[in-house]
Structure 1
Amino acid sequence: MSTFSPTRYDDLPGGWFRRCGKSGLDLPAVSLGMWHNFGDAGTDAQKLGEQDLHENATAMMRTAFDRGVTHFDFANNYGPAPGAAEARCGRILESDFGHHREEIVVSSKAGYRMQPGPYGDGGGRKYLIQSCEASLRRLRLDHLDLFYHHRNDPSVPLEETLGALDHLVRSGKTLHAAVSNYPGERVEEALSICERDGLVKPILHQVPHHLLDPSLSGGGLDAAADGGMGNIVFSPLAQGLLTDKYLDGVPADSRAAAASGFLKADRVTPELQAHLKRLNAYAGDRGQTLAQLALCWVLGDPRITSALIGASRPSQVTGCCDALQQGPLSEAERAEVVALAADAA
């Protein structure tokens, strides 16, 4: 059985663990998302053989845990291919984290397309319950800590979706329910239905949020916080734009060049690069990287419990975990950073 640093909790920045709204669950300031680089296909898999790919995924998870990242975030369709990230990391959790299950939070989601046919996406009871059970099998776990409905699905009554989440909590398949990508008014409606019908309330809302477009969450941050929920944000580095990767163009081996995600090469304009270089210089003056500055800005928002990062190698995990080492941004600094990023979206 692999071992971890016995001092992994000793030198964490103040406030590293944060409460999910009014629940009793704490999450680390930085959580590790498994959307890319943990599956069996895609650009990184083409560069790495199977053994190296597995060793790299293992090293990222181990590095994260040794740096206080106790939360690993999945979805049923993460890979690529769908299900591959859960399957690979299920083996890693079993081999490397077996004695530390009580120290980690494992989340998964269902809502986007997972399989062909009428029961492969959406917010219906059959899909959500079956998907949670399938995720548990792939992850080799007997329960999840958080299970999300991954997206708003207006075609299904919200009562049915929330009823499925309630069932999964009451049956012990997940400890907590959560929602993702809900607009603000849908979060409010969900909480109202749970209150009315006596259903388990979701404790966490996952939304996109980053410095280049602070309005990206569509009101979801406020609605969740006002309703006593926590918020965990994904894409806090804007798909890698808020790193040093694109300061001088689009590298041939980047995700933008490969068009393997939502980020496309034509997004990296001279105007955007000018904003990024100004932000990068500001970060340097604080003794930070651009990525660390972007995370520091996100995590300074009292509505936000945790920031989900993606990574392709352990050093990126380490760099993100150092985001709070220089201390929080003051209100004046937050305003300066926003001004430097203005009109870059």
Structure 2
Amino acid sequence: MPYRSVGHSGLYLPAISLGFWHNFGDDKPMQTQREIVRYAFDHGITHFDLANNYGPPEGAAEKNFGRIFAEDLSRHRDEIVISSKAGWNMGAGPYSFGGSRKYLFDSLDASLKRMGLDHVDIFYHHRPDPDTPLQETMLALRDIVASGRARYVGVSSYGPDLTAEAADFMEEEGCPLLIHQPSYSILNRWVEEPGDEGESLLQSCANNGLGVIAFSPLAQGLLTDRYLDGVPEDSRAAAGKSFSQSMLSEKNLSMVRALNDVAARRGQSLAQMAIAWVLREQGAYGAETVSSALIGASSVEQLAHNLGALDNLQFSTEELNEIDRLASDGGINLWAGATESKKHDEG
């Protein structure tokens, strides 16, 4: 497993990290979850990414991870990076969403209790909140670090301009933001598009010293061979889990089939190529623009297969040009509406 530096910090993350968004709720066998986590750690995945609302039900992924951690990994705590987040809905009440100081502190305390930890290594604000001043959210993150509840803090799904504003504020407060977690894949390239100030999110992160960890590099599973011949019964699309069947348009499937041919010529599966593409060198922003690719796994076999992406991270100019020619936006950025705060937009 190669490890990559994270922004202007001394922290390193594995090139591939394991996310708990799906497959670690109470609807999945605990033994399967345990096998995936153990296999991940044994193969160099030292970063486990969670959030307060991962399940089902909300909180279940943290609870289940806490059990696995206590039984199998607690003696390796200093070798593991554990992250969690708060920002999306955690309940129906008025204090279970957003970016308020109350919500962020209370949510993190609950997350630590579920996982049986005294701190996380990275804590994120999961999305911008249009109803909370940015300064309140950032000061809460600063004080979370000062309290010892988290070693580092970051943001997720912030747009480029808001990211720069947040980074400037935190730099002045002496608690720099460590990392940004955006969605990013061959079919979802919003992080490369310029914001109102002319910078893309990738450029904004590079200029402000933030690392980037890309979630959904497989476009919710679209960038695999699962949907080339229909919708499998056990797929995310069939289950309606963050995957609308509208994503399986003929346009998208045509792109997927063409990209699958490119991957085959590289000696990779489409999934392996998609992960490698996110981790590719991008000279415009630095050799290692993306610190880590964040993937899920429903089985040890799937995780082992996707780790094979690391066998070939190099792309020729011809391959990159062909991928750019074949792929366009697939309409799968489910988080597009969360990337800017209304208060920021209104000046």
Q: Does 1:209 align with 2:163?
A: no
RMSD: 1.5
Summarize the alignment of residues 254-269 of structure 1 with structure 2, pairs less than 5 Å apart. 254-261=235-242, 263-269=243-249
Summarize the alignment of residues 93-104 of structure 1 with structure 2, pairs less than 5 Å apart. 93-104=69-80
Summarize the alignment of residues 243-282 of structure 1 with structure 2, pairs less than 5 Å apart. 243-261=224-242, 263-282=243-262
Q: Distance between the aligned counterparts of 2:8 and 2:203, measured in 1? A: 15
| Residue number in structure 2 paired with 1:76 | 52
Return the letter of the residue paired with 2:123: F
1:88 to 64, 89, 112: 64
Return the letter of the residue paired with 1:277: R
Deviation at 1:217, TM superposition (A): 6.5
Q: Distance between the aligned counterparts of 2:42 and 2:326, measured in 1? A: 34
Unaligned runs of 5+ in 1: 1-11, 46-52
User: Does the CA-based 8 Å contact 1:121-1:127 persist in structure 2?
Assistant: yes
Residues 159 and 342 (structure 1), Cα distance of their counterparts in 2 relative to 1, 3 Å cut: closer
Q: Distance between the aligned counterparts of 1:223 and 1:170, measured in 2? A: 26
| Residue number in structure 2 paired with 1:185 | 161
| Residue number in structure 2 paired with 1:3 | none
| Residue number in structure 1 paired with 2:217 | 236
| Matched position secondary structure for 1:123 | coil
| Residue number in structure 2 paired with 1:60 | 36
Return the letter of the residue paired with 1:203: L
Deviations 1:41-71 (A, max 9, x none): 3xxx4xxxxxxx1010011111111111110
Unaligned runs of 5+ in 2: 194-199, 283-287, 332-347
| Matched position secondary structure for 1:266 | helix
User: Does the CA-based 8 Å contact 2:192-2:201 persist in structure 1?
Assistant: yes
Residues 217 and 126 (structure 1), Cα distance of their counterparts in 2 relative to 1, 3 Å cut: farther
Return the letter of the residue paired with 2:274: A
User: Does the CA-based 8 Å contact 1:28-1:71 persist in structure 2?
Assistant: yes
Summarize the alignment of residues 113-128 of structure 1 with structure 2, pairs less than 5 Å apart. 113-128=89-104
| Residue number in structure 1 paired with 2:12 | 26
Q: Distance between the aligned counterparts of 1:28 and 1:331, measured in 2? A: 26
Return the letter of the residue paired with 2:252: L
User: Does the CA-based 8 Å contact 1:71-1:106 persist in structure 2?
Assistant: yes
Return the letter of the residue paired with 1:210: S
| Residue number in structure 2 paired with 1:194 | 170
Q: Distance between the aligned counterparts of 1:182 and 1:344, measured in 2? A: 20
Q: Does 1:334 align with 2:320?
A: yes
2:105 to 99, 114, 129: 129
Deviation at 1:293, TM superposition (A): 0.4
Deviation at 1:168, TM superposition (A): 1.0
Deviations 1:155-175 (A, max 9, x none): 111111111111111111110
Summarize the alignment of residues 286-305 of structure 1 with structure 2, pairs less than 5 Å apart. 286-300=266-280, 301=282, 302-305=288-291
| Matched position secondary structure for 2:190 | coil
Q: Distance between the aligned counterparts of 2:139 and 2:252, measured in 1? A: 44
Return the letter of the residue paired with 1:192: D
Q: Does 1:170 align with 2:142?
A: no
2:127 to 146, 151, 156: 151
Q: Does 1:309 align with 2:295?
A: yes
Q: Distance between the aligned counterparts of 2:313 and 2:97, measured in 1? A: 42
1:318 to 262, 284, 304: 304
| Residue number in structure 1 paired with 2:204 | 223
Deviation at 1:287, TM superposition (A): 1.1
User: Does the CA-based 8 Å contact 1:163-1:199 persist in structure 2?
Assistant: no
Deviation at 1:115, TM superposition (A): 1.9
Q: Distance between the aligned counterparts of 2:56 and 2:330, measured in 1? A: 30
| Matched position secondary structure for 2:186 | coil
Deviation at 1:317, TM superposition (A): 1.0
Deviation at 1:195, TM superposition (A): 2.9
User: Does the CA-based 8 Å contact 1:204-1:229 persist in structure 2?
Assistant: yes
Residues 335 and 153 (structure 1), Cα distance of their counterparts in 2 relative to 1, 3 Å cut: same
User: Does the CA-based 8 Å contact 2:189-2:329 persist in structure 1?
Assistant: no
Q: Distance between the aligned counterparts of 1:327 and 1:298, measured in 2? A: 9
| Matched position secondary structure for 1:284 | helix
Residues 266 and 244 (structure 1), Cα distance of their counterparts in 2 relative to 1, 3 Å cut: same
Deviation at 1:215, TM superposition (A): 2.2
TM-score relative to the length of structure 2: 0.88
Return the letter of the residue paired with 1:208: S
Q: Distance between the aligned counterparts of 2:203 and 2:37, measured in 1? A: 31
TM-score relative to the length of structure 1: 0.89
User: Does the CA-based 8 Å contact 1:183-1:217 persist in structure 2?
Assistant: no
Deviation at 1:326, TM superposition (A): 2.4
Q: Distance between the aligned counterparts of 2:230 and 2:44, measured in 1? A: 33
